[in-house]
Structure 1
Amino acid sequence: MDALTFQGKCAVAFQRVPTPQLKEPTDAIVCIELCGLCGSDLHPYHCREQGLDAGTVMGHEFVGRVVQAGAAVQRFLPGDRVMSPFTACCGACFYCRRGLTARCERSQLFGWVEGGAGLHGAQAQYVRVPMADGTLAHLPADVSDEEGLLLGDIFSTGYFCAENAGIAALAAAAGGTAAGDGAVADGDARGPVVAVVGCGPVGCLAVLAARELGAARVLAIDSVPGRLELAQRFGAEPINREQQDPLAAVRAATGGRGADAVLEVVGSPSALRAAYDLVRPGGTISSAGCHTEPSFPFSPVDLYNKNVTLKSGRCSARHYMSKLLPLVQSKKYDVADVISHRLPLSEGVEAYRLFDGRAPGCTKVVMRPWSEAAAADGVEA
């Protein structure tokens, strides 16, 4: 099959690799109809963590159709249209039963093979899905491939980040107005004021989630005009950090206090430090960015002296997929507006170059592994 594989630091290749096979009776093989390029794919791409094995199939965002189901798979049959979270999960352990599917006792991350062990990814024509009954979800006919792919990772992650910040509780305590209404002129909004650090695709969907959960105002901070424009379309007030001081802007919007909650979705020390500076005393920082540094850019004393709550962690995407599916089906929001580039998988090497280089207008890249003719025939190209 065709796939994008890791070849070393900042190097991927489009090449033929063996098609995955069932290994366990709980596995399924999915023919991928759409896969995505995620910001967290850039961590192994840059070898920011321990490196992947050369030849690892990259990627963890996908939708497709089941083509094989192991003998123990009960919920899915060949031909079923499915979506998947970025980590496989059993659906039955202590953590899965509590909605913390990201910490499943048997969790595996798609696109991570190290020392010969792990799970190949989804930037390919086929993928093996372990624990298919717990991992996969049916993709209804009224949900597009793009919407299903976003549910499996970045929409769930953006919503998780906003929910983790306690925005709904803050809105209820303030007796706030419905999401999307304005704020009082003196900076005392009728509901929480939320700052979002980073306006990539996760940040833009975090903006949407914050509004949905009851934020009165959402201030979105970035330096890329196109991303700020997209955040504004999702309901944010854009702050270009190269043209104005974000701290001054946030304080001006909050009577000098700082944001009630800050959503950090970048995964860099400077972004997390900015979140600390922007949050008001007694506020909450919700960090969904993937951090690989060995220490925080602030100290425990800093948190103590400001009475700040810091929440972090990997999104339990399988849990949020089910939770957010009705919202996507309602068509209240055009979540697929975050997608800027739709390419064939054969152009995946260039896709990585564009995405990594933050090319103008590049926010979210999705790729189709099959030619239109091959997809129509249902056979491998």
Structure 2
Amino acid sequence: MATMKAVVLRKPFEVVVDEVERPTITDPADVLLRVDLTAICGTDLHPYDGRIELEEDVVLGHEFVGTVVEVGSAVNLVSEGDRAVASCVVSCGHCRNCNRGRPGQCAGTRIFGLGLTFGSLSGGQAEYVVVPNADLTLRKLTDEGAGNDEDKLFVGDIMATGYEAVRKVIRPGDSVAVVGAGPVGLCAAMSANVLGASRVMVVDKVAARLKEAEAIGAVGIDASVTDPTEAVQDLTDWRGADVVIDAVGHPSALLSACALVASGGSISIPGVYLEDSIDIPFGDLYLKGVSIHQGVANIINYMDETLALIAAGKLDPSRFISHRMPMSEATEAYRMFAEREATKIVLDPTR
């Protein structure tokens, strides 16, 4: 039995690097990828802190780029030796929602590294990973234009997620407020600038993250010292933000988004919610005519756009990487990320 090293969740708050069975192709549409870079995502913290309950010894991770080492007989768009990035969400491509352009709501949605509940796909924080439905899930990478593999790594999740959250609601000239300056929030702020926002404001309490938001042209609002609602009102002539992005996925963030949004505006929620119910000021939102957009991101719809914008030098999400670490130090990397000592951590499976 061939083995490999991988990041394994033993139980909440216990992540180890262990030797596990190397995956193999079982379907003609599969590709076996050697993982060259992988990242820790905010969604990985949900099983880490017990918010999502997984079975024991799940291989984590759903952001990765790699090199194709084996292709199934039904795969046409990538070949052995190609570099490729994978969507974190695997869709069937032919169900009703997929046909309606909503692959994130595919009847058979699967997500790498989130256990049985999300389709039992082994994760990408490993030396190798099998990518199902590869012609739909993967995008072949080239060296043309700007950007590097670290930029393209994020097209499989946070860059496409942040981009979609803005793109589906913005009109040129809109003011945009982003609640949460984590990786998705920063990608949303970067996207808002590209998509024609007149002003971008980012709300957070972590100074380093706010500094990064300001470096890409956003106005940083430190919620630990300033009332975000008053700050956004002041910056928008007391209208509120036309678009508010909840990039946190916590009831307090959603309440903040409700307070920040302008009449006739939109709240877009890329943050992950698992609560059965949340108290929000629904009557106020109704009277203001606010639209709310949410759900698992339609990653594959936006991979080509974000790759093109990276190649054009318009998006450079690798700037948000705060730490590059060997995969052998994944235990410490998860601790750092959970404690907000890092903005984004990329792991090298070869070390």
In the alignment of these two chains, the number of paired residues is 346
For the 8 Å contact 2:25–2:32, the answer to whether it is kept is yes
Q: What is the distance in 2 between the residues matched to 1:78 and 1:111? A: 24
Match of 1:138 in 2: 140
8 A contact 1:2–1:15 mirrored in 2: yes
Aligned partner letter, 2:20: V
Supply the distance in 2 between the matched residues of 1:234 and 1:97 (Cα, whole angstroms): 36
Aligned mates of 1:281, 1:321 — CA distance in 2: 32
CA distance in 1, matches of 2:85, 2:320: 18
Residues 270 and 297 of structure 1 are in contact (CA less than 8 Å); yes or no, is this contact kept in structure 2? no
Query: Which structure 1 segments of 5+ residues have no match?
Result: 172-190, 372-381
Match of 1:370 in 2: 350
8 A Cα contact 1:64 1:83, kept in partner: yes
Matched, 1:3 2:3: no
For the pair 1:112 / 2:114, whether they are aligned, the reply is yes
- What does residue 157 of structure 2 align with? 153
Go from structure 1 to structure 2 and tell me whether the alpha carbon gap of 1:288 and 1:115 turns closer, same or farther (over 3 Å shift): closer
2:326 matches 1:344: yes
Is 1:314 aligned with 2:314? no
For 1:35 and 1:326, how far apart are their aligned partners in 2? 21
Letter in 2 for 1:102: G
Letter matched to residue 326 of structure 1: A
Q: Partner letter of residue 60 of structure 2? A: M
Cα shift at 1:299: 4.6
Paired with 1:223 and 1:77, the residues of 2 have a C-alpha distance of: 45
Quick one: percent identity of the two aligned structures? 42
Shift of 1:323: 1.7
Inter-partner Cα distance in structure 2 for 1:93 and 1:146: 32
The answer to whether 1:238 aligns with 2:238 is: no
The equivalent of 2:80 in structure 1 is: 78
TM-score (norm 2): 0.94
Q: List alignment gaps of at least 5 residues for structure 2.
A: none
What is the alpha-carbon distance in structure 1 between the residues aligned to residue 252 and residue 117 of structure 2? 32
1:136-215 matched pairs, under 5 angstroms: 136-142=138-144, 143-164=147-168, 166-168=169-171, 171=172, 191-215=173-197
Distance 2:346 2:269 in 1: 25
Q: Does the 8 Å contact 2:109/2:118 carry over to 1?
A: no
Q: Is 1:251–2:242 an aligned residue pair?
A: no
Of residues 103-112 and 236-245 in structure 1, the stretch that sits farther from structure 2 once superposed is: 103-112
> Which residue of the other structure, out of 40, 45, 50, is the alignment partner of 1:42?
45
Contact 1:95 1:105 in 2 (8 A): yes
Once the two structures are TM-superposed, the CA of residue 104 in structure 1 deviates from its matched residue by 2.8
Q: 1:78-97 maps to which residues of 2 (within 5 A)?
A: 78-97=80-99
In 2: Cα distance, 1:105 partner to 1:280 partner: 34
Question: Could you give the per-residue CA deviations for residues 281-328 of structure 1, whole angstroms, max 9, x where no partner exists?
Answer: 221111110011111231533321322111111111111111221111
Question: 2:117, 2:106 → 1: CA distance?
Answer: 22
**Structure 2 CA distance, aligned partners of 1:16 and 1:89?**
29
Q: Paired residue for 2:336, among 345, 354, 357?
A: 354
Aligned partners of 2:206, 2:76: CA distance in 1, in Å? Answer: 47
In structure 1, distance between residues paired with 2:42 and 2:222: 21
